[in-house]
Amino acid sequence: MAEPVAVLGLGLMGSALAGAFLRCGHPTKVWNRSPERAAPLVALGAVRAGTVAEAVSAGGLTVVCLSDNDAVLRTCEAAGRALDGRTLVNLTSGTSREARDLAAWAADRGVDYLDGKLLATPDTIGAPETTVLYGGRSEAFDAHRAALGALGGGVIRLGDDPGLPALYDVALLDILWASLNGFLHASALVATEDVKAGEFARFADLLFAGLLAFVARCARQIDEGAYAAEDSTLETHLPATGHLIAECLARGVDADPPRRIRAVIERAIAQGHGKDGYAGVVEQFRKAPAGAQDRG
């Protein structure tokens, strides 16, 4: 018998979560602030709850996925004491601080809290390759591990700390946005010669494939705290940034992204990393430059 589940929040993601539980045979109660969003799930076999308390009172696991964690707190408080003694899995995006604050709020009420972060879009929920990162007590995680498997094949608990998944989540977005911006900026640059993005993407693919080995080497060097150049030095990278900036300026393309790359390499060289490989730049990111944090 599959565990009963309550899903609070039926936006794009919450609806996908509830759909995945239903497909795996979990009796699923659903609640949403705007009740009409429950209709497609009710058609698939979900039971609509009129209140949060009614949704969670069925027992089993409660999953919440709302726009932000303020909404999560207000929604859970609206449940009164109905969540007491139950397990709450919060799959809402946010910061590690918010996750830890919600965990403390839950602990005060005897609610077992797992924070989860979805490395996924709604259309991939339930797929074998979809990963969700969790933080919280292993007893709570293990007790509901089977139900959580309905959301994707990658069910990973990072440890007891409920804040760690949020940190991993934003760190991975850091990589995603930087990589995509790199491709988009480069596409704008080659477009000045009427090169189609689709044609250029073939070469970007080659580069991305090669990056996997580069990332592995950088990770090893970062963990060792030693960045000896194994191919090119930062002193070799620096003039290449100048070539990129010159092409941007000549073609009217935004030169600020490569200027920021040049600035960080220049700082690394000024601090004695000129003969190091590219991983030496990591030291520049460990501490914000003076005054930078004031910009928010």
Ligand X SMILES: NC(=O)c1ccc[n+]([C@@H]2O[C@H](COP(=O)([O-])OP(=O)(O)OC[C@H]3O[C@@H](n4cnc5c(N)ncnc54)[C@H](OP(=O)(O)O)[C@@H]3O)[C@@H](O)[C@H]2O)c1
The structure tokens 């209709």 sit at 39
Does the protein bind ligand X through residue 9 (CB under 6 A)? Answer: yes
Q: Which stretch binds ligand X (CB under 6 A): 29-37, 54-62, 234-242, 247-255?
A: 29-37
CB neighbours of residue 73 within 10 Å: 16
CA distance 196 to 200: 6
- Residues 5, 6, 7, 10: which binds ligand X (CB under 6 A)? 10
The distance of closest approach from Cβ of residue 204 to ligand X in the complex, given in angstroms and rounded to an integer, is 23
The distance of closest approach from Cβ of residue 108 to ligand X in the complex, given in angstroms and rounded to an integer, is 21
Between residues 132 and 147, which has the closer beta carbon with respect to ligand X?
132
Does the protein bind ligand X through residue 206 (CB under 6 A)? Answer: no
Between residues 120 and 189, which has the closer beta carbon with respect to ligand X?
120
The length of the chain is: 296
Q: Select from 72, 103, 96 the least CA-distant residue to 7.
A: 72
Between residues 71 and 204, which has the closer beta carbon with respect to ligand X?
71
Backbone angles phi, psi at 64, to 5 degrees: -120, 135
Identify the DSSP state of 265: H
The distance of closest approach from Cβ of residue 169 to ligand X in the complex, given in angstroms and rounded to an integer, is 8
Q: Select from 238, 225, 229 the least CA-distant residue to 276.
A: 229
Two tokens, residue 272: 């004695």
Convert residues 86-105 into a mask of x (bound to ligand X by CB under 6 A) and - (unbound): ------xx------------
The residue type of 154 is G
Does the protein bind ligand X through residue 122 (CB under 6 A)? Answer: yes
Q: How many residues bind ligand X (CB under 6 A)?
A: 21
Does the protein bind ligand X through residue 62 (CB under 6 A)? Answer: no
Does the protein bind ligand X through residue 13 (CB under 6 A)? Answer: yes
* β partners of residue 89: 63, 114
Does the protein bind ligand X through residue 154 (CB under 6 A)? Answer: no
Contact predicate 31/46, CB 8 Å: no
Q: Select from 66, 57, 63 the least CA-distant residue to 85.
A: 57
Query: Which residue's Cβ lies closest to ligand X?
Result: 11
Q: Which stretches of the chain bind ligand X, using CB under 6 A?
A: 9-14, 32-34, 37, 65-67, 71, 74-75, 92-93, 118, 121-122
